[in-house]
Amino acid sequence: SQQGEEDPQALSIQEGENATMNCSYKTSINNLQWYRQNSGRGLVHLILIRSNEREKHSGRLRVTLDTSKKSSSLLITASRAADTASYFCATVATWEGGKLIFGQGTELSVKP
């Protein structure tokens, strides 16, 4: 079963704009991870944020985590056409063996 809900389900922007995707989850977590998936391919790990962290940066990516609201956001700045992909948040619940529980994903389209 899916734990997370992602919003929006689809997002279309112009190259150079920022893209923000949101993720909500239900249970206590150890960490939250964001993955990217190009059409029909495997998942690429983008960033991991632990439950005691509030914000993390990696290149053009910025992730926030609010454990009181059980939500996270992924911001991609200065988007490029190559960022076109599906983006998934996935949570690792505390004491659940490390399995990832994925949301349904946000499909991002960046138009040149």
Partner 1 sequence: DTGVSQDPRHKITKRGQNVTFRCDPISEHNRLYWYRQTLGQGPEFLTYFQNEAQLEKSRLLSDRFSAERPKGSFSTLEIQRTEQGDSAMYLCASSQGWLAEYNEQFFGPGTRLTVL
Closer to partner 1 at the Cβ: 12 or 18? 12
- 42 burial type by CB count under 10 A (0-12 exposed, 13-18 middle, 19+ buried): exposed
Cis ω on the peptide bond leading into residue 8 (within 30° of 0)? yes
Cβ distance to partner 1 smaller for residue 46 or 110: 46
We find the least distance from the C-beta atom of residue 15 to partner 1, in angstroms, to be 25
Residue closer to partner 1 (CB basis): 52 or 68: 52
Interface with partner 1, residue 43, by CB under 8 A: yes
The CA radius of gyration of the chain, in Å to the nearest whole number, is 13
- 8 Å CB contact between 76 and 16: no
The binder of partner 1 chosen from 19, 101, 108, 110 (CB under 8 A) = 101
Size of the site for partner 1 (CB under 8 A): 28
Q: Is 28 in the site for partner 1 (CB under 8 A)?
A: no
d(CA 105, CA 17): 20
